[in-house]
Amino acid sequence: MYKYPVAEPEIGEEELKNVVEAVKSGWVSSRGKFIEEFENSFAKYIGVKYGVATSNGTAALHLALTALNIGEGDEVIVPDLTFAATINSVIYVSAKPVIVDVNPDYWCIDPNKLEKAITPNTKAIIPVHLYGHPCDMEAIMEIASKHNLYVIEDAAEAHGAEYKGRKVGSFGHISCFSFYGNKIITTGEGGMCLTNDRELAEKIRILRDHGMNPVKRYWHDIVGFNYRMTNLQAALGLAQLDKIERFIGKKREIAKIYAEELSSVEGIVLHPEMPWAKCVYWLYSILIDEGKVKMTRDKLAEKLEKDGIETRNFFYPLHEMPIYRKYANLTYTASSKISKQGLNLPSSIKLSEEDVKYIARKIKEAVIRH
Ligand SMILES: Cc1ncc(COP(=O)(O)O)c(C=O)c1O
């Protein structure tokens, strides 16, 4: 346990009340009033018509790809810098992932490098709104529409983030969210698919429940999964959703303090927010230019740990991992550099202003050359 964790949930009386109500009602599995309410409320919050709650964010991605009939012989473009769930879901459906570099300025998939990766077999793009920063959705949707591709937004880390005033998760054909314990709002484990397409939503719903015919019980027209969310999880999520604007406000306040404290430090690049973006800073992150500071990123992380300050190194670029290397045939200059330099800082909504200033001071003391 760290005194200053990277992320931790804030769970209050409202969540407790909902969960107790769900338990007392006896609806503890995947039926019950909270599920539909959570689906509808979250979809409405993002600005999408239909929501299908799932057991986790990875399951949401798997369902999205399956519902779009993506499979063997198809190619799906993913960014080099992401959590493994993004690429794994493509492999689950036997499609071929194609790894594309990220933009050096805001760390998400680079639309300028996208078109080079498109072949006659490309069926979809999965842009990932990394660490709370939106992708350049206009550029991505334009390329997708030109080449007739599906877009599945991976918004696991970016609840409430906006691109030109519109929430991420409302651009793609389907978007996928995670409600894991460290996410902006949580259901413990959990996820959701959102879509404006009624038929697609219905198909995802059926696939989530073993592919069972919704009117003819125990009759299966397609092979599905058990990827359902429980009523208990949805009860928790619904109470969390009521607080989402406060949580995001807090994340943005934390970001502002880090930025103020660290902006003048030579060798530190702050978490970006492009002019077209509202970043939700799921994990406030910095890049450390090791040539300009006193110690390496890894040494800094070690030093901070001694003061009870948890940090995380950025994700490894997918193309560097032997298991995924065969899906990487392009160049990856930005992702390699960002991954080596990147550090996620404590971004828990429970941190006070003094906490964030203390962490920033510890970073400055460690890295500034005198
Ligand atoms: C970018 C991204 N995609 C997908 C997932 C998968 O979500 P889950 O852990 O709920 O399966 C995560 C997070 O954990 C993630 O960060």
For residue range 129-187, list pLDDT tens digits in order: 999 999 999 999 999 999 999 999 999 999 999 999 999 999 999 999 999 999 999 99
Read off the pTM.
0.98
Instruction: Please say if the pLDDT value at position 117 is more than 90.
Output: yes
Within 8 A by CB and 6+ apart from 207, the residues are 63, 66, 67, 222, 224, 225, 227
Query: Is residue 124 lining ligand 1, measured as CB closer than 6 Å?
Result: no
Gap from CA of 193 to ligand 1 centroid (Å): 13
Nearest one of 143, 142, 108, 114 to 128, comparing CA atoms: 108
- Mutate which of 180, 186, 282, 335 for ligand 1 pocket (most atoms within 8 A of beta carbon): 180
152, 172 contact by CB (below 8 A): yes
Q: Can you give the pLDDT at residue 247?
A: 98
**Average pLDDT of every residue of the chain:** 97
The pLDDT confidence band at residue 367, using thresholds 50, 70 and 90, is very high
> What is the reported pLDDT for 5?
96
Q: Is 256 among the catalytic positions?
A: no
What are the backbone angles phi and psi of residue 85, rounded to the nearest 5°?
-55, -35
pLDDT at 328 over 90: yes
Distance of CA 142 from the midpoint of ligand 1 (Å): 26
Work out the pLDDT band at 369, boundaries 50, 70, 90: confident
Q: Is the CB of residue 312 below 6 angstroms from any atom belonging to ligand 1?
A: no
Q: pLDDT band for 1, please (50, 70, 90 cuts).
A: confident
The residue assigned the tokens 């990827």 is 227
Which pLDDT score, from 0 to 100, does residue 368 have?
86
- pLDDT surpassing 80 at residue 248: yes
Q: Tell me what the mean pLDDT of segment 262-272 comes to.
A: 96
First CA to last CA distance, the chain: 33
pLDDT for the residue numbered 294: 87
Query: Alpha-carbon distance 72 to 121, whole Å?
Result: 10
Rounded to the nearest 10 degrees, the angle between the axes of helix 244-262 and helix 353-367 is 30
The region that residue 274 occupies, defined by phi over 0 for left and psi between -120 and 50 for alpha, beta otherwise, is: beta
Query: Each residue of 209-244: pLDDT tens digit?
Result: 999 999 999 999 999 999 999 999 999 999 999 999
For position 275, what pLDDT does the model report? 98
61 C-alpha to ligand 1 centroid (Å): 9
Arithmetic mean of pLDDT, 20-38: 95
Q: How remote is the CA of residue 136 from the centroid of ligand 1, in Å?
A: 20
Pocket flag, ligand 1, residue 122 (CB < 6 Å): no
Residue 11 pLDDT greater than 80, yes or no: yes
Give the residue ranges of DSSP H helices in the chain. Answer: 13-25, 33-46, 57-67, 85-92, 111-114, 137-147, 198-208, 231-241, 244-262, 297-306, 333-341, 353-367
Residue 156 Cβ < 6 Å to ligand 1 = yes
Q: Which of 113, 123, 167, 183 is catalytic?
A: 183
Ligand 1 centre to CA of 369 (Å) is 37
Using a pLDDT cut of 90, give the percent of the chain over it: 98
Evaluate: CB of 57 within 6 angstroms of ligand 1: yes
Pairing of strands 75-79, 96-100: parallel
Atom of ligand 1 nearest to the CA of 178: 10
Q: Mean per-residue pLDDT for 274-301?
A: 95
Q: Is the pLDDT of residue 370 over 80?
A: no
User: Which residue owns the Cα nearest ligand 1 atom 10?
Assistant: 57
